[in-house]
């Protein structure tokens, strides 16, 4: 409760009245009276002060608008006013709330003459105080800031906002921004580790025409200053479309606030937000025959588009951004925590058992996800006619499929590694098409096109990788003296770019094993820089194997 000091007035001579503050705090060291004119620095005026016990009596001429201060030695004070000094003896009540004065220099970096104001970090209305004034040397002073309260000194010139966060110590320099807002977190027991991140969705590149799963990027010019465990000053320049502020602590949130709504609000009006306890999700993933999906990839996406109004057609393909990722244990179980108050989708993916997605429930319980597959692709890999264990089999989308795919997850088929007998089983992509890339590393590579409509079972039989393409590279000068090595990248126009190194066998002679035919780009790698070879590309095929390939060093 805020206590009060009663003011009693006793009449004096003509034109002068006397105001007595009963039960004044004993630590009041000075009593000062100031003439008050709105928006101007108060000027001290003469007044007689008498003390009798706990009563303080102030005598002054009637008819002036004034502010009265009762100061302690530590610089804090009680303040009464502004009010008109009474022409007759009367009684007043002064709020028993200790206040202080804060000041900050605007220097010459601020063009124009902004009108600064105090934005309090404390919740609730500001009331009559604080009030801010400018002096001739561009020093801005705010009277009546509640003792112990942090805040921000804010002014605006044109479309630029100038602000400085003022704590219990000295204020830092003013900073300029296009927008700014005070954020106050309510309803949370512990916000000592308040975390704020500004992010935006990254739209598909010009080579793509659609996409619901978007990458994210940081809004680099968004800034925040945490003033206390539950208050932060936000500011920035750009407001990218659909950008947001992600707010969380170690135990609560995250909450997602539209950056547009933050920036559009009045700078003098704090933005209040509530952090709910972070959501946790437990679930299990199983295949079509209820077999546990061991090591299934669990990816969580947050939907950033609102639901369609009931009067409009539903938009099933709302955009979403990555939120979290984990894998299932040997029993197909997974746990996710620290999800926020938002709509989320969980996608479970297993290279042999298929894929499925589900909405994240808001109520506690175990989420059960059953995987589905558009079919099965199997085969056996041979090298030189013998089963090849440990060979990678990777489902690769067709490159042109990305341009029109609404959901890129539909383009990804399963991956596997051949067993001791060289056999493998993978799932095709839900959208069909693409290819299997079999081999890699030290093994040759074969690419096998897949049908656009996957049958329930596609048996590829035996896949003989054959032999790698062994070539001899001949240079017109020896790059070893320059500390360079020969590298090749390719094949051009194919997915899954590979880098292949060469082995020096003699001055200016190198041996290279190319894993698959195609157009390869050759270059000298000299430390972190490269030097071109002429010709820069070379078609490598079965007809090139075992032969010399000649280049000039540039």
The two tokens of residue 71 are 């100061």
In the listed set 97, 120, 152, which residue is the last one of a domain according to the structure? 97
Instruction: Note whether residue 184 is domain-resident.
Output: yes
Cis (ω within 30 of 0) for the bond into 535? yes
Distance CA 554, CA 552 (A): 6
In terms of domains, do 268 and 284 share one? no
Answer yes or no: is pLDDT of 287 > 80.
Answer: yes
In terms of domains, do 222 and 243 share one? yes
Asked which of 125-134, 265-274, 354-363, 455-464 is least confident by mean pLDDT, the reply is 125-134
pLDDT band at residue 192 under the 50/70/90 scheme: low
Distance CA 155, CA 164 (A): 9
Segment 507-545, tens digit of pLDDT: 999 999 999 999 999 999 888 788 889 999 999 998 999
Residue 69: closest CA among 60, 61, 59, 78:
78
pLDDT band at residue 173 under the 50/70/90 scheme: confident
Distance (Å) of CA 220 to CA 176, 454, 532: 15, 44, 36
Q: Which residues pair with 30 in a beta bridge?
A: 71
The bridge status of strand 376-383 relative to strand 386-387 is antiparallel
Looking at residue 350, which CATH number applies to its domain? 2.60.40.1120
Q: Is 259:222 a contact under the CB 8 Å cutoff?
A: yes
Answer yes or no: is pLDDT of 165 > 80.
Answer: yes
Instruction: Note whether residue 153 is domain-resident.
Output: yes
pLDDT over 90 percentage in the chain? 51
Instruction: Note whether residue 447 is domain-resident.
Output: yes
**H-helix or E-strand containing 454?**
none
Distance CA 147, CA 286 (A): 61
Predicted local confidence at residue 11, as pLDDT:
47
Predicted local confidence at residue 112, as pLDDT:
67
546-551: long-range contacts, CB 8 A cutoff, minimum separation 24: 546/470, 546/471, 547/471, 547/472, 548/471, 548/472, 548/473, 548/474, 549/471, 549/472, 549/473, 549/474, 550/473, 550/474, 550/475, 550/476, 551/473, 551/474, 551/475, 551/476, 551/522
Q: Is 118:132 a contact under the CB 8 Å cutoff?
A: yes
pLDDT over 70 percentage in the chain? 90
Instruction: Note whether residue 415 is domain-resident.
Output: yes
Length of the chain equals 554
In terms of domains, do 283 and 273 share one? no
Higher-confidence position of 442 and 185: 185
Containing structural domain, residue 32: 3-97
In the listed set 230, 259, 277, which residue is the last one of a domain according to the structure? 277
The bridge status of strand 16-21 relative to strand 55-61 is antiparallel
Q: Which residues pair with 105 in a beta bridge?
A: 139
Predicted local confidence at residue 308, as pLDDT:
73
Looking at residue 406, which CATH number applies to its domain? 2.60.40.10
Predicted local confidence at residue 454, as pLDDT:
82
Q: Is 90:83 a contact under the CB 8 Å cutoff?
A: no
In terms of domains, do 182 and 273 share one? yes
Looking at residue 487, which CATH number applies to its domain? 2.60.40
In terms of domains, do 452 and 513 share one? no
Instruction: Note whether residue 103 is domain-resident.
Output: no
In the listed set 277, 295, 317, which residue is the last one of a domain according to the structure? 277
Phi, psi of 259 (to 5 degrees): -65, -30
Please count the structural domains in the chain.
6
In terms of domains, do 78 and 39 share one? yes
Angle at 408 between CA 351 and CA 460, to 5 degrees: 40
Residue 20: closest CA among 539, 382, 37, 31:
31
Asked which of 284-288, 313-317, 468-472, 528-532 is least confident by mean pLDDT, the reply is 313-317
Instruction: Note whether residue 389 is domain-resident.
Output: yes
Segment 76-97, tens digit of pLDDT: 999 998 999 998 888 888 889 9
In terms of domains, do 452 and 479 share one? no
Predicted local confidence at residue 479, as pLDDT:
83
Instruction: Note whether residue 49 is domain-resident.
Output: yes
Residue 202: closest CA among 240, 245, 148, 158:
240
Q: How many CA atoms, within 13 angstroms, populate the side-chain half-sphere of residue 493?
A: 7
The torsion angle over the Cα atoms of residues 380, 384, 389 and 390, rounded to 10 degrees, is: -100
In terms of domains, do 444 and 511 share one? no
Phi, psi of 262 (to 5 degrees): -65, -50
Asked which of 3-7, 12-16, 146-150 is least confident by mean pLDDT, the reply is 3-7
Predicted local confidence at residue 381, as pLDDT:
97
Q: Is 352:331 a contact under the CB 8 Å cutoff?
A: no
Instruction: Note whether residue 308 is domain-resident.
Output: yes
Distance (Å) of CA 82 to CA 9, 168, 382: 17, 26, 94
Angle at 360 between CA 259 and CA 193, to 5 degrees: 50
Mean pLDDT (the chain) is: 87
**H-helix or E-strand containing 259?**
helix 259-264
Give start and end residues of each alpha helix (H) in 431-521. Answer: none
pLDDT band at residue 126 under the 50/70/90 scheme: low
Terminal CA-CA length for the chain: 84
The two tokens of residue 146 are 């509640």
In terms of domains, do 75 and 112 share one? no
In terms of domains, do 394 and 355 share one? no
The two tokens of residue 358 are 């589900």
The bridge status of strand 509-514 relative to strand 548-553 is unpaired
Q: How many CA atoms, within 13 angstroms, populate the side-chain half-sphere of residue 326?
A: 16
In terms of domains, do 390 and 424 share one? yes
Answer yes or no: is pLDDT of 313 > 80.
Answer: no
Instruction: Name, in order, each residue with C-beta under 8 angstroms of 259's C-beta and a sequence gap of 6 or more.
Output: 198, 200, 219, 222, 236, 239, 240, 243, 244, 245
Predicted local confidence at residue 326, as pLDDT:
96
Cis (ω within 30 of 0) for the bond into 237? no
In terms of domains, do 454 and 475 share one? no
The bridge status of strand 139-146 relative to strand 131-134 is antiparallel
């Amino acid at each position: 409760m805020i206590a009060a000091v009663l003011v009693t007035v006793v009449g004096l001579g003509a034109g002068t009245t006397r105001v007595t503050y009963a039960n004044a705090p004993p630590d009041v060291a000075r009593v000062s009276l100031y003439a008050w004119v709105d928006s101007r620095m108060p000027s001290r005026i003469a007044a007689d002060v008498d003390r009798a016990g706990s009563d303080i009596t102030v005598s002054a001429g009637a008819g002036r608008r004034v502010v009265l201060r009762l100061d302690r030695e530590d610089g804090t004070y009680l303040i009464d006013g502004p009010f008109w000094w009474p022409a007759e003896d009367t009684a007043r009540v002064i709020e028993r709330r200790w206040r202080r004065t804060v000041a900050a220099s605007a220097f010459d970096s601020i063009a124009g003459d902004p009108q600064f104001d105090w934005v309090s970090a404390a919740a609730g209305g500001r009331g009559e105080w604080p009030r801010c004034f400018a002096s001739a040397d561009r020093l801005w002073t705010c009277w009546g800031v509640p003792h112990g309260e942090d805040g921000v000194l804010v002014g605006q010139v044109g479309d630029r906002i100038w602000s400085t966060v003022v704590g219990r110590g000295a204020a830092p320099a003013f900073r300029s921004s296009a927008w700014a807002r005070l954020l106050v977190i309510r309803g949370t027991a512990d916000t000592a580790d308040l975390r704020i991140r500004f992010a935006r969705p990254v739209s598909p590149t010009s080579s793509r025409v659609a996409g619901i799963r978007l990458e994210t990027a940081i809004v680099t010019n968004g800034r925040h200053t945490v003033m206390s465990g539950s208050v932060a000053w936000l500011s920035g320049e750009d407001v990218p479309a659909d950008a947001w502020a992600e707010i969380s602590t170690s135990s609560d949130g995250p909450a997602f606030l539209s950056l547009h709504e933050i920036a559009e609000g009045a700078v003098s009006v704090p933005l209040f937000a509530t952090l709910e306890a972070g959501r946790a999700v437990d679930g299990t993933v199983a295949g079509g025959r209820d077999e546990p999906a061991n090591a299934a990839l669990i990816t969580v996406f947050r939907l950033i588009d609102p639901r369609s109004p009931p009067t409009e057609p539903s938009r099933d393909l709302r955009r979403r951004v990555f939120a979290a990722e984990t894998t299932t244990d040997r029993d197909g179980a997974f746990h996710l925590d620290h999800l926020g108050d938002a709509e989320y989708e969980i996608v479970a993916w297993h290279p042999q058992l298929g894929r499925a997605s589900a909405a994240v429930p808001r109520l506690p319980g175990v989420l059960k996800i059953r995987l589905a597959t558009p079919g099965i692709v199997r085969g056996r890999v041979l090298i030189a006619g013998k089963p090849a264990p440990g060979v990678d089999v990777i489902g690769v989308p067709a490159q042109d499929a990305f341009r029109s795919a609404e959901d890129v997850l539909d383009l990804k088929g399963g991956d596997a590694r051949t067993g001791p007998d060289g056999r493998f089983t993978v799932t095709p992509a839900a959208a069909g098409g693409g290819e299997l890339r079999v081999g890699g590393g030290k093994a040759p590579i074969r690419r096998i096109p897949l049908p656009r409509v996957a049958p329930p079972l596609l048996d590829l039989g035996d896949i003989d990788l054959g032999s790698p393409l062994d070539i001899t590279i001949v240079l017109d000068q020896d790059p070893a003296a320059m500390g360079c090595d020969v590298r090749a990248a390719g094949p051009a126009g194919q997915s899954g770019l590979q880098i292949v190194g060469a082995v020096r066998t003699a001055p200016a002679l190198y041996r290279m094993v190319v894993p698959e035919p195609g157009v390869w780009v050759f270059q000298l790698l000299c430390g972190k820089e490269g030097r071109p070879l002429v010709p820069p590309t070379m078609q490598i095929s079965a007809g090139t194997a075992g032969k010399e390939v000649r280049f000039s060093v540039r």
